[in-house]
Chain A
Amino acid sequence: MEQVAGFLRWFHIMSGVMWIGLLYYFNFVQVQAIAAANKDQAGSAAPITKYVAPRALFWFRWAALATWLFGVGLLGPNVLSAFTFQNGFAAIGVGAWLGTIMFLNVWGIIWQHQKKVLNLGPYAANPASDEVKANSRVIAAFASRVNVLLSIPMFFFMIAGSSAHMGLFF
């Protein structure tokens, strides 16, 4: 059983690195790159939005789902104790809630708006208007920044609440 938990932790961390790595790529690299490219010459960011962003978003959202599922698997029978902050599970519970909010943000807000901005999914054949795209761009950017913000306490509580660090912070 402990070996299963070990493997789940391995997959949880690997998919988490892919998810948050791409989140940081979007927020620390891509947004600024698109702004700089458009400043040089209007439309010169098109290769990023056409070829890079959809691929990054694909791995981003599926890695988010994988991370969450492996995390729930890792909590196993303690999942309810964690989400209700029972004795000894308060720290990992905060981490689990932050991760869950971030995961729901990815699928419920960021991805829904990015589909409109980048003409993906149902919007490939039926693109949103420029006005809708402009609003969705801001909402997606804000929601993405919120996840960067939440990732900071999320990482702390994942580490502090991990069985490997019991007693170190709490």
Chain B
Amino acid sequence: MKKNYLDSLELTIGLGVALTLILYFAVKALS
């Protein structure tokens, strides 16, 4: 049986915010 590693909504939202910050600073640095 497979496992859903994003079962937690809190983890999902936390990772989403973290990804936003990473991409924001990456785009800011590169553009």
Contacts and interface: CB of A to CB of B under 8 A. Distances in A.
A142 interface: yes
A8 interface: no
B17 to A, nearest CB: 6
Contacts, number: 65
Interface in A128-151: 134-135, 138-139, 141-142, 145-146, 148-151
B1 A156 contact: no
A101 to B, nearest CB: 12
A94 B16 contact: no
B20 A153 contact: yes
Contact of A138 (B1, B23, B27, B31): B1
